[in-house]
């Protein structure tokens, strides 16, 4: 898919009309993810009950690819178990880096698989993986992401 088509068919919708953008009340985990080269800056918030992600929201700003990617990610991980979400992050990052190419793994990413062609745009890889990296970091190292305002 060429870049303009990718924007028009996938990215713009999530960037201009995001489903999961906003602030969550009392999230269990909160982590800021920053991409210094672009200035992408998100704060991801997760609610986790019995090892299942029951809600995900993000706030912040950045380029359309970073924002659309995290919005799509939120769609995909809500309702998933923590280890499933971590596995998906591995698949997504692998896909974007061009290391994971088998269709079966990629299909598991559902809509997020549409970003596969970012693999051909090295300058935008960091934008696409920012949300997934942040999510993986907070699930694997929850001590870095504990919500300080929670009792």
Partner 1 sequence: MGRATDYRKDFDILNTGDYIYFDNAATSQRPRQVLDAVSEFYKTSNANPLRGLYDWSVAATEQYENARKKVAGFIGANRAEEIIFTRNTTESLNLVAYSYGMENVSEGDEIVVTVMEHHSNLLPWQMVAKKNKAKLIFLEPDEEGVISKEEYESKITDKTKIVAVGHVSNVMGVTNPVKEIAEYAHSKGAIVVVDGAQSTPHMKVNVQDLGADFFAFSGHKMMAPMGIGALYGRYELLEKMQPFLTGGEMIEYVTRTDATYAEIPHKFEAGTVNAGDAVGLAAAIDYIENVGFDFIIEQEHKLTKLLMDGLSKMPYIKVYGSSDPAKHCGIVTFTVDGVHPHDVSSVLNDDHVCVRAGHHCAQPLMQFIGAGSTARASLYFYNTEEEVERFLDKLSKVREVMGYGA
The span of 2-10, 69-77, 78-86, 106-114 binding partner 1 (CB under 8 A) equals 2-10
- Residue 128 C-beta: closest distance to partner 1, Å: 11
Residue of the chain from 38, 86, 106, 113 that contacts partner 1 (CB under 8 A):
38
Quick one: which of 30, 65, 70, 78 contacts partner 1 (CB under 8 A)?
A: 65
Using rule CB under 8 A, residue 23 touches partner 1: no
Q: Is 86 in the site for partner 1 (CB under 8 A)?
A: no
- Residue 32 in the binding site for partner 1 (CB under 8 A): no
Q: Is 62 near partner 1 (CB under 8 A)? A: yes
Q: Does 37 bind partner 1 (CB under 8 A)?
A: yes
Distance CA 63, CA 66 (A): 6
The DSSP line for the chain is --HHHHIIIIIHHHHHS-SSBS--SS-SEEEEEEETTTTEEEEEEEEEETTEEEEEEEEEE--HHHHHHHHHHHHHHTT-BHHHHHHHHHHHHHHHTT----HHHHHTTGGGGGGGGGGG-GGGHHHHHHHHHHHHHHHH-GGGSB-TT--
Residue nearer to partner 1 on the CB measure, 5 or 150: 5
Token pair, residue 136, equals 């993986």
In the sheet that holds 40-49, the strands lie side by side as 29-35, 40-49, 52-61
**Under the criterion CB under 8 A, does residue 127 sit at the interface with partner 1?**
yes
What is the smallest separation between the CB atom of 13 and partner 1, expressed in angstroms?
A: 8
Q: Which residues bind partner 1 (CB under 8 A)?
A: 2-4, 7-8, 12-13, 15-16, 37-39, 41, 61-65, 121, 123-124, 127
């Amino acid at each position: 898919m060429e870049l303009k088509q990718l924007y028009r068919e996938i990215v713009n919708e999530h960037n201009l009309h995001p489903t999961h953008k906003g602030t969550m009340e009392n999230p269990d985990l909160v982590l800021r993810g920053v991409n210094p080269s672009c200035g992408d800056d998100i704060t991801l918030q997760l609610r986790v009950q019995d090892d299942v992600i029951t809600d995900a929201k993000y706030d912040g700003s950045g380029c359309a690819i970073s924002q659309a990617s995290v919005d799509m990610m939120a769609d995909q991980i809500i309702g998933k178990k923590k280890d499933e979400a971590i596995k998906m992050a591995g698949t997504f990052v692998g896909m974007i880096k061009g290391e994971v190419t088998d269709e079966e793994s990629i299909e598991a990413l559902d809509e997020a698989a549409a970003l596969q062609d970012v693999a051909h745009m090295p300058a935008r890889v960091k934008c696409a993986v920012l949300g997934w990296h942040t999510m993986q970091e907070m699930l694997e190292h929850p001590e870095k992401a504990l919500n300080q305002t929670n009792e």
